[in-house]
Structures are given as C-alpha cells and as structure tokens.
Amino acid sequence: MNFLNPAFLWLAALAIPLIALYILKLRRRDVRISSTILWERAVRDAQANAPFQRLRSNLLLLLQLLLLALLVLAIARPALRRVASPGRVVVLVIDTSASMGARDGERTRLDRAKEAAEKVLGNLRDSDEVMVVEAWSGARVAAGLTRDHAAAERAIRLMEVRDTGTALEEALLLAATAVEKREGAVVVLFSDGAGARVPSHPVLEKALTWVRTADPADNLGITAFRAEVVSGTDGRVESRTVNGRTEHPYSVFAGVSNFSRARKKIYAALRSEGSTVAVRALDLAPGETGGASFEVMLPGEAAVEVALDEPDALAADDRAWSRVPEPAEVRVAFKGEHRFLQAFLATRPRVRVDEAAPDLWFCEGPAVEPPAGAHAVYFRPDRPVAGIAPGEEVARVKALSWDETHPLLRFAKFADVHVGKAVRLSLPPEGVNLVQGSAGPLVAMVSEKGRLRIVTAFRAADSDWPLRPSFPIFFSNVLRLVSAARASEVPPQIGAGRAARFTAGTAPVGRVTDPSGTGHALTATEAGDFVFGATEKVGLYRFEAGGSTRPFGVNLLSEAESNLAPADSLGAGASRVEAAASAGEDNRDLWPWLAGAAILILLVEWACFNRRIT
C-alpha cells in the first residue's frame, strides 16, 4: 500500500488538542452550600476536569480519535497497487536509439525498457490486441496488431541498441495513426526521453503513457568532429615525402561536451593506422564544451580516429572516425584548341594534365565522348550532348541574364560578354539554363549519372569572354565543383543512421564492410551511384568498388543522445505527458471506504453524546 497524498498525514497531530480538551481544567466559581448530597454528579465532573489528571476511560474520546484517524487517512489517499490491462488495444513504442545503450548499473536502459514492456504484455487479457513499434532515427512496426502476445514478446526480445539519434515523433505518429479508429486504444512509450517530442494527435493527447526507463548518469561525449586539408593563402598545400610516402598537412578537430555533474580532466588521443599520433588534455567544467585540435602530417585518404580515455555510461560517443581526404587535385584533358583556358589553368594550384584518366574533359569542335567517369565542358558541339542540342547559327549575341544563385556562377557577371557567333541551344527538361543570351541559352548544364555536362553555344575564340573577369571566375567554380564531387564520391564521415551515397565511375557493383567485418554487396543505381543504409552502428566502414578501397566513418555526434539526464516530461500543451514509473498497473484508491467508515463513526459518536453514554 502507498499514499497518494502523504503530505497530509501531519494532520494526525490534531489528536493532541483533542485530547487536551479532556484533561484541561474548566474554570469554575466557588459557591458555599449546606450539603453535597444533591451535587454528587457535579463533584464527579469537577474531579474529572482537574488539571493534568490521568485520563479516564471515555468512549466519546475514543470515537473522536478514531474519526480523526479515518479522516486523515482518507485525505492522504491510501491506495493498493494492482495489476491491470492498459486497454483493449495497446501499442508499445520502444526507443532503441543510442542513449538507450547507456548503462544504469549492470543493465542498459534498453534492458529496462524491454523488461517493462514484457511486464505489460503479461498483464494483458487474452482478448487484448497489441502492436510493437521500434523507434530510433527511423521507425518500424516490429509486430503488427495481433492477439498473439508471444509473437510480440519475441519481437521485443530481438531489439538491439542502434547508435543513432532519436525520431520518437515519427514512431508515435505511426503508432497513433495505426489505432486511431479503434475504441479504447492506448499508446505506451518506453524511453529515456532523450531528444523526444510528442506530436499533436488525438490518441496521444488522451491515451499516451510514458514509462521512463532511465536514471541520471554522468557522460562525456564527442559532439563535433572534422578533418580537413590545411592550405596556404594561395591555395597551395605544403606536402612532404617521408620514406617514399607523401604526407599532407591536416587539421583535425573534436568537440567534447561534459554532461557530468562534476569537473572532468581527460585526454583525447588522435590515432591513424593503429598508432597514436598525438594526445591533447582537456579540463571541462559541468555542462562545458571544449575542443581538441590537432595539426598533423598524414598520408592522403588515411583513416583517423579520436578517442576519449575515460570510460563512462555511454560508449557510442567516446570515439569518432573520419577519412582525411587527399588534397584536391583536378586532372584535366583537352580536345581541340584551348589556349585561353590552358593559360588560365596553368596558374591554378593542384591542376595537372592527365590525358589517360582525367577528372575534367574540355572539348571544342566535333563532340566526342569523354573518358569514363569524367566531367565535361563542350564549346559549341556539333551534335547533341546529354540532350542539349545545337541548332542554327546566329551572329552578334549578348548575354542578358544569368542565375547568380547557382554554384557555377558565384561572383560571375556576364553583362560585358559579347559573342560574335553562336548556335541556338535547345535544352532537355532536366537541363539548366545558366546564362541566357539574346538568341537563346549561351551556357547550359545537365547532370548525367552524377557527372557535369556543361555546354556553351560558342567557342571562346569567337567572343571576348576570355578577356572578362567572369571567365576565370566561372572556371574556378567548375574546378571547385569537380574537386568537391571527387572528394564526396565516398564521404569522409556520415551521421549514424543516415544513408551513405557513393560514386565509383562506371563500376556496376560495390561492397561495404562494416566495423564487425560483415560485408554488404551493393549494386549501382540507374544514376550510376551506390546507396548504403545499414549505418546504425558507429565505427570505421570501408567501401570497395572498381578496384579501390576507401574508408569512411559513421559517428553519433549528438548532444541530445550524449546528455543522459532523463527528462521529467515530454511535449507541451495538450500533448504534454509526465513520466510514469510503470505501465500495466494502477492504484486502487481506498479513501471512499475510509470516508464511509468516518461517517458511520460520526453517527455513533452523535448517538452516544445525546444519550449521555461516556
């Protein structure tokens, strides 16, 4: 038994003044009389009211004390815990995000959630229907609406922690929508509440129970991580060769947050290829975020890891991984006359001619297919390119407008560009008109299987464009996009739970090896890229395709998941829900019985008083 209003138990102290009324002396006036024979009863009253005498047996006092005790207990609301079914249709939503992997003693938060969910299942009637929904950075139905409670229990036991953020809003909407037309449906959420929001839905506003499966826990976590090449103001990278291996300067930064209740002094170590490269000391106050910065020389495409040396409640945020990209070098090849363009590219750092395997292909005159995997720029092609078709020739064309928001046209102005002769370009539906001329598009673009196809309606020599500032600006933007596209063929790192997209030239198949060593076969999409979604575990992954292997990191990097302080409530307004200790149990209130007994005692006491029974 427990009390729902235990603070009112102090009212039992009112028994003290009640007893005092029976032992304190009444003030009486002395009167001389001839005899006390007729005053025996008055004499007894006077003796009973002598100050601080021993209490005599008094039925009225006992009845009044019993009445007071019953009233105090009724106000304090004693209740008996009893097992009950939450409803006829029950949806169990179980959080399996990263914070549910935090250890509260010997068990994880997910262990506690599964135990509480199985307890609810055990309390259901055979006729009750149940549905199980799993929530992490996504949501899925683990067990459809069924009366087979054993199947639902098996689905719960198979759940594991995923090192991702939380999308409880999506899972709760899924649960509420599934049972919104079922009378008496309830939703029970098992979660620590990290990063949770309650969406607005009628089912959730009146029939949501949140069972909080967490205790406060101290934690430090890596919440930000990046690794990038260090270049000079002129864009050049000061590389070096050591023992036949080329190394480049990199800046690696890890942001570390202290979600503990005490100051923490820790070390962050940078590792690469199994060796510790550098170590930084951090001293963080409670709630403080600091950073560990490393300036190191490493070979391009190497995998790096930053690890904290102090174990805590959550392991998923104690390490972070990435690949340090090779300094951006763009390999170019030419077909036709390109003296203006070649003169400009000769001034750019990390641009070199490579006719065998170019990243960027320039073609003027008769259009030919670019080498496999290359981006391409065509100057006045003689046939259609990626759906962009040349038409009749026109003379004396002027640029009229251009899309200043497009990455290729950043800071480029074409108002002073004049073209002696050009062709009319017709664009496919997916084509982008970058520069509009007086006779149609002057510069257009199409993306073909992840590769740029840029077409100009004129040759550079037939215009004054090479003499205008927009010429070097435009092709600098082209180099930047090609360089970024090459670096993003395999992203250096992604967030846990997010899909990774890879490109690998014309390779039809690929393979990803996860941190456990399990391989995942991939097939290229129609667009020529690969998509991999099984990133629920943090660690270092490797993508293989076309004979090359490149690592990439999967990291948590989430303040909401790393902060293990449990919430007291979720949502706001009509959707607000308070944390509950458990579900599948309720309180059987005893105060009505106590109030009834008090009324009965009051009637007995009134009858005794009126009949002078003491």
Q: For every residue of 20-57, which 3-state class applies, written as one string?
A: HHHHCCCCCCCCCCCCCHHHHHHHHHHHHCCCCCCCCC
Q: Is 89 in contact with 132 (CB distance < 8 Å)? A: no
What is each CA distance from 549 to 348, 355, 586, in whole angstroms? Answer: 29, 24, 58
* Domain 230-320+557-561 and domain 493-555 have a common topology: yes
**CATH 3.40.50.2000 assigned to 493-555:** no
Q: Is the predicted pLDDT of residue 487 greater than 90, yes or no?
A: no
Spell 64-73 as b/e; 16+ CB within 10 A means b: bbebbbbbbb
Q: Is 434 in contact with 409 (CB distance < 8 Å)? A: yes
The tens digit of pLDDT for each residue in 324-344 reads 988 877 889 999 888 888 888
Amino acid at 596: G
Q: Where are the beta strands (DSSP E) in 537-613?
A: 539-545, 548-555, 569-570, 577-580, 585-589
User: 76 or 120: whose pLDDT is higher?
Assistant: 120
What is each CA distance from 157 to 112, 151, 187, in whole angstroms? Answer: 12, 10, 19
**pLDDT more than 70, % of the chain:** 90
pLDDT at 486: 72
CATH number for the region 330-483 comes to: 3.40.50.880
The tens digit of pLDDT for each residue in 403-455 reads 888 989 988 999 999 999 999 999 999 999 999 999 899 999 998 877 899 99
* Mean pLDDT value across residues 345-374: 87
Which CATH architecture best describes the domain 230-320+557-561?
Sandwich (2.60)
* Mean pLDDT value across residues 246-274: 93
Closest by Cα among 119, 187, 125, 193 to 156: 119
Q: Residue 83 — very low, low, confident or very high, per pLDDT cuts 50/70/90?
A: very low
* Mean pLDDT value across residues 12-24: 76
* Mean pLDDT value across residues 393-402: 92
> 2-3 and 78-83: which strand pairing?
antiparallel
Q: Is the predicted pLDDT of residue 25 greater than 70, yes or no?
A: no
Q: Quick one: tokens of 137?
A: 């950075």
pLDDT at 150: 94
pLDDT at 450: 74
Pick the CATH number of 85-217+569-583 from 3.40.50.410, 3.30.2350.10, 3.40.50.720, 3.40.30.10: 3.40.50.410
- Sketch the domain layout of the chain as residue ranges: 2-29+36-82+590-610, 85-217+569-583, 230-320+557-561, 330-483, 493-555
Q: Is 318 in contact with 311 (CB distance < 8 Å)? A: yes
pLDDT at 612: 73
289 by Cβ neighbours in 10 Å (0-12 / 13-18 / 19+) ranks as middle
Q: Is the predicted pLDDT of residue 314 greater than 80, yes or no?
A: yes
pLDDT at 587: 55
Q: Give the range among 255-269, 390-404, 474-488, 512-526 with minimum mean pLDDT.
A: 474-488
Q: Give the range among 9-13, 156-160, 289-293, 506-510 with minimum mean pLDDT.
A: 9-13
Q: Residue 503 — very low, low, confident or very high, per pLDDT cuts 50/70/90?
A: confident
Q: Give the range among 79-88, 284-293, 328-337, 568-577 with minimum mean pLDDT.
A: 79-88
User: 525 or 486: whose pLDDT is higher?
Assistant: 525
Distance CA 293, CA 237 (A): 19
pLDDT at 28: 61
pLDDT at 365: 82
The tens digit of pLDDT for each residue in 163-217 reads 999 888 999 999 999 999 888 889 999 999 877 778 888 888 888 889 998 888 8
Return the axis-axis angle of helices 59-76 and 591-610, rounded to nearest 10°.
Answer: 160
pTM over 0.75: no
User: 242 or 318: whose pLDDT is higher?
Assistant: 318
* Mean pLDDT value across residues 594-610: 84
Average pLDDT, the chain: 86
Distance CA 549, CA 543 (A): 6
The tens digit of pLDDT for each residue in 539-591 reads 999 999 988 899 999 999 999 999 998 887 776 555 567 766 666 554 567 77
Question: DSSP secondary structure string, 180-226?
Answer: TTSTTEEEEEEE--TT--PPP-HHHHHHEEEEE-------EEEEEEE
Q: Is the predicted pLDDT of residue 47 greater than 60, yes or no?
A: no
pLDDT at 130: 94
Distance CA 91, CA 210 (A): 12
User: Residue 240: which H helix or E strand, with range?
Assistant: strand 240-242
Q: Is the predicted pLDDT of residue 386 greater than 70, yes or no?
A: yes
Q: Is 305 in contact with 321 (CB distance < 8 Å)? A: yes
Long-range contacts (CB closer than 8 Å, 24 or more residues apart) made by 177-180 = 177/201, 178/91, 178/131, 178/141, 178/145, 179/89, 179/91, 179/131, 179/145, 179/203
Q: Is the predicted pLDDT of residue 357 greater than 90, yes or no?
A: no
